[in-house]
Chain A
Amino acid sequence: GQQLNQSPQSMFIQEGEDVSMNCTSSSIFNTWLWYKQDPGEGPVLLIALYKAGELTSNGRLTAQFGITRKDSFLNISASIPSDVGIYFCAGQPAGTASKLTFGTGTRLQVML
């Protein structure tokens, strides 16, 4: 099945740095979701986006639904050690109600 192109694949950053990751698709999406997955756990929703151009924050996290509806980014400001994990974007392609397509994931590691 289709997967979203997510980059970067992995990141090593210093504690306190800002982080940015993005997802792109060749087709239009109606919804963009950002998840974090810790080892041994299922993905946990961070931010949900429902409108093109929408910019939403959740604490130190900010995500935007691209105006073309084909991309989204997630920013994490002032990273802390507990930000370590795998981040996935996920979206609902237009015309496929209730089905989620996942990105390839970004593995974030924070150096103290």
Chain B
Amino acid sequence: SAVISQKPSRDICQRGTSLTIQCQVDSQVTMMFWYRQQPGQSLTLIATANQGSEATYESGFVIDKFPISRPNLTFSTLTVSNMSPEDSSIYLCSVEGGINYGYTFGSGTRLTVV
């Protein structure tokens, strides 16, 4: 299955600033997915990123707050903009691993906004 490198692994940021999270995959994939995991909670899909087109956002998430880039088939970025303490979460990227491999996840970015 695919191997995902995600960085940074953690960061502490001031409110009002923005953080860009990078996700690198070791193979070409059509779709990449970004999730948020709030403290003690499950994973919620933020958006699906396709190469060459705008990301598709889930209900409750908007492009101005979470702009996504997908410049090629192995890389994507998620920016958390104008951060507030409520944005403190783990952000994870994921790709389809193929049949019998489900979806593979990066190790996540633990964001704390102070």
Interface residues of A (CB under 8 A from B): 1, 3, 31, 33, 35, 40-45, 48, 50, 88, 90, 98-105
Q: Is the interface of B mostly helix, strand, loop or mixed?
A: strand
| B108 nearest in chain A by CB position | A42
- Cβ-defined partner of A45 (8 Å) among B59, B97, B108: B97
> A41-B107, A42-B105 given as contacts; is B60 within 8 A of A104 (CB)?
no
Closest A-B pairs by Cβ, 10 of them:
A42-B105, A45-B102, A33-B102, A48-B102, A102-B43, A102-B42, A42-B107, A42-B108, A43-B105, A42-B92
- Whether A48 contacts B45 by the Cβ 8 Å rule is no
| A3 and B60 alpha carbons, distance in the complex (Å) | 14
Tally of chain B residues near chain A (CB < 8 A): 29
Cβ-based interface call for B48 (8 A): yes
| B109 nearest in chain A by CB position | A42
Interface residues of B (CB under 8 A from A): 1, 4, 6, 31, 33, 41-45, 48, 58-60, 92, 94, 96-97, 99-108, 110
Would you mind naming 23 contact pairs between A and B with Cβ atoms under 8 Å apart?
A1-B58, A1-B59, A31-B102, A35-B105, A40-B108, A41-B108, A42-B6, A42-B92, A42-B94, A42-B106, A43-B92, A44-B105, A45-B1, A45-B102, A50-B99, A88-B42, A88-B43, A98-B48, A101-B45, A102-B43, A102-B44, A105-B41, A105-B42
> A98-B48, A100-B103 given as contacts; is B110 within 8 A of A40 (CB)?
yes
| A90 and B27 alpha carbons, distance in the complex (Å) | 24
| A88 and B103 alpha carbons, distance in the complex (Å) | 13
- Whether B107 contacts A33 by the Cβ 8 Å rule is no
* B97 surroundings in chain A (CB, below 8 A): 45
